[in-house]
Amino acid sequence: MKWKVSIFMAFMLSIVLVLAACSGDGSADPEATEGDDGGTEENAGEEGEAESEGSSEGEGEAAEEGGVLVFARGGDSESLDPGSTTDGESSRVTRQILESLLDFEKDSFEIRPGLAHDWEVSDDGLSYTFYLEEGVTFHDGTPFNAEAVKTNFERWSDPEHEYAFTDDGYVYAMYGTMFGGYKGDEGHVIESINVVNDHEIEFVLSQPLGFFLQNMAMSYFAITSPAALEEHGAAINENPVGTGPFKFVSWTKDDSIVLEKFEDYRVDGLPKLDEVVFEVIPDNAARLIALRSGDIDIMDGLNPDDAAVVEQEEGLKLYTRAENNFGYVGFHTQKPPLDQVEVRQAINYAIDKQAIADALYAGYATVAKNPLPPSYMGYNEDTEAYEYNPERAQELLAEAGYEDGLEIDLWTMPVARPYMPDPETVAQIVKNNLADVGITATIVRHEWAPYLEKTMQGEHEMFILGWSGTNGDPDYFLSSLLHGSNVGSSNRTFYENEEVDELLDQAKRAVDQEERAELYKEAQALISEDSPMATLVHSRPVLATSSDVLNYVPHPSTSESLAEVELAN
Amino acid sequence: MFSYVMRRLVMLIPVLVGMTLITFSIVHLIPGNPAQVMLGETATAEAIADLEESMGLNEPYLVQYGLYISDLLQGDLGTSLRSKAEISQEIWPYIAATFELTVFAMLFAIFIGVNAGIISAWKQNSWFDFLAMLFALVGVSMPVFWLALMEQWVFAQELGWLPAYGRENSRDPMAPITHFYVLDSLIHLDFARTWVTLKHLILPSIALGTIPMAIIARMTRSSMLEVMKSDYVRTVRAKGSGTFLVIYKHALKNAMIPVLTVIGLQTGVLLGGAILTETIFSWPGLGRYVYEAINYRDYPVIQSGILVIAFIFVIINLVVDVLYKLIDPRIKY
C-alpha cells in the first residue's frame, strides 16, 4: 500500500513538472529583452561605436568590463599555425592571435595597414619595401622586427629551414599556391628578402606578381614569434605566439579554444573584450538553441532556412557575409559532346539558375554570370548572362547536331559547402531542366575525396562544384579554375584557351591594378562566350549573434578580427 | 581467480592484433586520401602531392602497417595526420570525457532501469507494470538524436534550467587536471563548479542512458519474474519475510546475473558509440574523435582510436565476468 502511495506521488510530481515546462514561455530569459537597441538590421556593425570610445583605458581595473565572448562554430581548428594550414576554421582563430604585414578592410578585401604601416612598390613591380610598426612586441615579450618577418617567410619557402619542421609533416600549401612554389622552384616569385633595418624590409621578386599585396594581407601569412618557434618547435601548431589583440590560453580539442586580452596590444584601447572562447557545436540546431538560451554570443553557419525566423526574433541579430564564392556546373570541355561550344552554351541556357537560388538559399544568393564574385576588382558587369531559355537551348543543340537529344553523366558532390548547401537537390533541378530540352542526364555520386581526385583527373563529363576566395584577388578564381596550365589540377573543366591564358598571365604580371582589372574583364568575356561552366550562384552565408554583440562585422573571407567587438551590459 | 584474469589478459593480445589488422585494412579501403580531404576543393595537384609525401602515405601498405605495429609495440599510438600531435597524449581528454558521460548515463540507466524492472515484476500486470514497460518500449525505440534535441529544446531553450551543450560553462573554463571535470572541480575544491559540471551532465546522460535503461528494465523484469517463481523464494516467503526483503535481499542477487551481462555490454556500446549524443551535445568524446578522423581520413587516429575503444570494451567484459563471481560464488572459472 505504501508503495502505491509513493508511486502515485512520483507520478503526480512528474505531471506537475511537465505542466510547469509547458507554461514556461520562450522569452522568459530576462537578459533577452535588454538588447533592444540593435533591431535586426544586417551588418549593423557601426552602431555603438560612440559609446564604446568612452570606455576606460585604465589598466587592470577595467578587466571586469570587457566580458567573455563565446563564438560557436561547427568544427574545430586543424592547427593554430596559420602558415601550415588552409583550413578556414583555423584562420578564424589565428586571425585573433597573429597579424600579417597588411590587413583587409573590415568588410572587404581592400588593403589596409597591418604590422606594416606603410609600403612602397618599385615601378617595375620587382621590389616591395614595407615599413614596420615600431615598439610592437610579441605575446612572449620579444620584439617584433624585420628579422622576425624574414624568418617567417623563409620558414614557409624553404623546406630545409630550421623551423620548417618538414619531418614533422609541416607543408606550407598556401604559400606554394600564392607565391608560385617554394625556394628553388621555377615559378617561385620571392627571390630574396632584405632586412634594411629593424623596421624596414624589402622583398625582391623574380617576376612581378599583381596580387602580392593582397597575399601579404592574408591571415595565413601572419607573423609568429621566432623565439616561440625556437621554444615550441613542431608543437607551434598548439602554441601560437603572435602580436595580435588576443593571447592564446588553452585548446581542448573538439571542444574549445580560449584566448585572452593582450594588454600590450599595439592599438590603444583594443581589444575591448577580456576573453574570447571559440566553441565547437557540430549540430546546427543545437547551436541555434545555445544562442537562444544565451550560452553563446555568435553562431557561425546558420541554416539559410532559419534566417527568416532569426531576423524576427527579439534578442537575436542576423548577419550575412559578402559574396566570396560561386557554385557552378562544370563541363569537361575536351570530351564529346561537351567539346562543342554549342552544346555547352545550350546546357547553360537550359539551367534555371534563379530557381536554384530561390529553392536552396532562401534568398541569400544571387545568380552568377561570371566565375568571380561581384565585389571583386575586374568583375565584368557587361557579361551577357545565360538567362534561362529552353528554346534557345534546343536551337543550339540542333545546330550541334543533337536535335534528337543526347545522354550525359552529371556528377554531384556529396557534401554541403557554403556555395552549395544541397548539391543533391541542385543536381535534381539541373537534371529536370536538361530533360526539358531533350538531354538525359544520369546523376553520378562519389565520396568527397574521390570526387575531387577523379574530377581533377578528368573522369567526369559534367560536374557540380564551387570555389571560395581567400586573398580577394581575381587571379585566385580565374587562373586556378580556367588557366590551361592548371588542367589536371584545379582546372577541372580542362578548359584551354590560349587567348584567355595570355590575358590571365598578363594580368598576373601587371602591377597597375586598373590595367589588371581591364585584362580580367576581357578574359571573362571570352570565358563566357566559350561557356566552360554554367555559373550558378554566389551565396551569402548567414550567421546570427545575440543582440548584445556590438561592432561585429563579418568578413567575406569568413575570418574577422574581434578586436573591436564589445558586449552590451 | 587471479590466474583466470591473467589468462584473459593474455588472450587479449591476439584479439588486439586482429583488431589492428582489420582496422588497418578497412581504413585503407575507404576511398580518398587524407591530403585531398584536408586541402579541399581549392587545392592544387602539387600541394596534394607535397602533403601526401610529408604524411608518408606514398609508402606501400605493408610497410605502413609494419611501421604502425612496430610503433605500437613500443607503446606509441602514432601521430595524428591532421593535428600532428601524439595520439597517446591527444586521446586522453577524449577518453575522460566519454568515460565521465558513460558513468553518469549508466548510473541513470541502472538506477531507474533496475528499480523499474523490479517493481514491474513485483507488481506484475499492475498499471505500474504496463506503464513502465510501455515507457521502456518507447525508450528502446526512440531515436537518440530526437530525444536529445527535445531535451535541449525544453530544458535549455524554453525553460533555461540546464545548459544545452558542452561540459562546462564556456565563459568560465577551468584548468583541467585529470580531464574528468567533476573530479577536477572537486580537486580544485570549487563546489560551485561541481554543480555546474553536474548540470552539464544531466541532459546528455539521460539522452545516452535511455536506451540502456529501457533494456535493463525489461531484462530485470523478466529475470526477476523467473527468480520469483523459484523454490528458494517460495521458501523465504514461507518463512514469513516481507516482500521487500524477499526481493532486495534474496531474489535480486540471482536475478542480477543476466542483467549484469546487459549492463556490461551496454557500457561498452556507450563508450564507443555515443557519437550521436556527443555530436548534439558537443561533447568532445571518443566517438567524435574517431568520427572526425574518419571524415579527414586521419588513418593513425582511426586505427588507434578504434584500438583503444576495443581495448576498453574487452576490459569491461572482463570486469563483468569477475563481478559474476562476486555476486554468485557458485560460478567457477
Q: What would the pLDDT profile of A250-265 be if each residue is shown by its tens digit?
A: 999 889 999 999 999 9
pLDDT band, very low/low/confident/very high, at A536 (cuts 50, 70, 90) = very high
B170's grid cell? 564556456
Q: Which candidate, A29, A33, A25, places its Cα nearest to that of A547?
A: A33
Does residue B251 sit in the same domain as residue B189? yes
In a domain, B333, yes or no: no
- Burial environment of residue A152 by CB neighbours within 10 A (0 to 12, 13 to 18, 19 or more): buried
- Check pLDDT > 50 for residue A13: no
Does residue B58 sit in the same domain as residue B187? no
Does residue B117 sit in the same domain as residue B72? no
In a domain, B60, yes or no: yes
Measured CA to CA, the distance from residue A243 to residue A348 in angstroms comes to 49
In a domain, B183, yes or no: yes
Distance from the Cα of residue A321 to its chain's centroid: 10
Does residue B39 sit in the same domain as residue B137? no
Nearest to B33 among A26, A296, A449 (CB): A449
Quote the mean pLDDT of chain A: 86
Helix residue spans in A329-402 (DSSP H): 341-350, 353-361, 390-399
Measured CA to CA, the distance from residue B314 to residue B232 in angstroms comes to 35
Looking at CA atoms only, how far is residue A118 from chain B in angstroms?
A: 31
- Check pLDDT > 80 for residue A55: no
Measured CA to CA, the distance from residue A507 to residue A54 in angstroms comes to 46
A503's grid cell? 590575358
Decide if B214 contacts B135 (C-beta within 8 A).
yes
What average pLDDT score do residues A505-518 get? 91
Measured CA to CA, the distance from residue B164 to residue B160 in angstroms comes to 9
Does residue B185 sit in the same domain as residue B149? yes
Measured CA to CA, the distance from residue A118 to residue A216 in angstroms comes to 13
Taking contacts as CB-CB distances below 8 angstroms, the residues of chain B near A86 are 38-40, 42-43
Nearest to B160 among A78, A171, A293 (CB): A293
In a domain, B147, yes or no: yes
A28 vs B159: CB contact, 8 Å cut-off? yes
pTM score, two decimals? 0.84
Residue ranges of the domains in chain A? 8-47, 325-539
User: A23-53 burial, b for 16+ CB within 10 Å, e for fewer?
Assistant: eeeeeeeeebeebeebebeebbbeebeeebe
Does residue B179 sit in the same domain as residue B215? yes
The pLDDT value recorded for residue A62 is: 39
Query: pLDDT over 70 for what percent of chain A?
Result: 89
Does residue B221 sit in the same domain as residue B134? yes
Look at chain B and report how many structural domains it folds into. 2
Contacts of A25-28 spanning 24+ positions with Cβ under 8 A: A25/B158, A26/B157, A26/B158, A27/A314, A27/A315, A28/B158, A28/B159, A28/B160
What average pLDDT score do residues A274-292 get? 91
CATH topology of domain A325-539: Dipeptide-binding Protein; domain 3 (3.10.105)
Other C-beta atoms lying within 10 Å of the C-beta of residue A428: 16
B160 vs A486: CB contact, 8 Å cut-off? no
CB pairs under 8 A between A and B: 185
Of B52, B85, B118, which one is at a domain's C-terminal end? B85
Taking the alpha carbons of A64, A65, A70, A71 in that order, is the dihedral positive or negative?
Answer: negative
In a domain, B332, yes or no: no
The pLDDT value recorded for residue A544 is: 95
Instruction: Render each residue's pLDDT in chain B as its tens digit; 333 residues.
Output: 788 888 888 888 888 888 888 888 888 877 777 888 878 777 888 888 888 887 777 778 888 888 888 888 888 888 888 888 889 889 999 999 999 999 999 999 999 999 999 989 888 888 999 998 898 888 888 888 889 989 988 998 888 898 888 888 888 888 888 889 888 888 888 888 899 999 999 999 999 999 999 999 999 999 999 888 888 888 888 888 888 888 888 888 888 888 988 898 888 888 876 888 898 898 999 988 988 888 888 888 988 888 888 888 888 888 888 888 788 777 776
Of B85, B109, B138, which one is at a domain's C-terminal end? B85
B65's grid cell? 602497417
Does residue B261 sit in the same domain as residue B176? yes
Does residue B259 sit in the same domain as residue B279? yes
> Which residue is closest to A413 within chain B, CA to CA?
B41
Measured CA to CA, the distance from residue A356 to residue A388 in angstroms comes to 11
Looking at CA atoms only, how far is residue B21 from chain A in angstroms?
A: 24
B163 vs A293: CB contact, 8 Å cut-off? yes
Decide if A299 contacts A291 (C-beta within 8 A).
yes
Does residue B102 sit in the same domain as residue B69? no
In a domain, B195, yes or no: yes
In a domain, B306, yes or no: yes
A289 vs B152: CB contact, 8 Å cut-off? yes
Q: Which candidate, B263, B324, B312, B291, places its Cα nearest to that of B92?
A: B312
Query: Prior bond to A337 cis, omega within 30?
Result: yes
Range name among A61-75, A179-193, A223-237 with the lowest pLDDT average: A61-75
Taking contacts as CB-CB distances below 8 angstroms, the residues of chain A near B90 are 253
Report the first-to-last Cα separation within chain A, whole angstroms.
Answer: 56
> Which residue is closest to A176 within chain B, CA to CA?
B47
Residues A231, A235, A240, CA angle at the centre, nearest 5°?
75
Does residue B200 sit in the same domain as residue B277? yes
- Check pLDDT > 50 for residue A402: yes
The pLDDT value recorded for residue B333 is: 66
Distance from the Cα of residue A274 to its chain's centroid: 26
Give ipTM to 2 decimals: 0.86
Decide if A80 contacts A183 (C-beta within 8 A).
no
Query: Who's near B319: CB < 8 A, 6+ residues apart?
Result: B264
Q: What would the pLDDT profile of A215-230 be if each residue is shown by its tens digit?
A: 999 999 999 999 999 9
B43 vs A447: CB contact, 8 Å cut-off? no
Decide if A102 contacts A131 (C-beta within 8 A).
no
The pLDDT value recorded for residue B273 is: 63
> Which residue is closest to B57 within chain A, CA to CA?
A169
Taking contacts as CB-CB distances below 8 angstroms, the residues of chain A near B32 are 447-450, 453
Of B65, B85, B105, which one is at a domain's C-terminal end? B85
**HSE-up (13 A, CA, CB side) for residue B10:** 6
> Which residue is closest to A21 within chain B, CA to CA?
B159
B165 vs A281: CB contact, 8 Å cut-off? yes
Taking contacts as CB-CB distances below 8 angstroms, the residues of chain A near B163 are 293, 295
CATH number at residue B151: 1.10.3720.10
Does residue B201 sit in the same domain as residue B113? yes
What domain range is B67 assigned to? 2-85
Decide if A38 contacts A44 (C-beta within 8 A).
yes
The pLDDT value recorded for residue A3 is: 46
| The residue type at A273 | L
> Which residue is closest to A10 within chain B, CA to CA?
B128
Q: What would the pLDDT profile of A161-180 be if each residue is shown by its tens digit?
A: 999 998 888 889 899 889 98
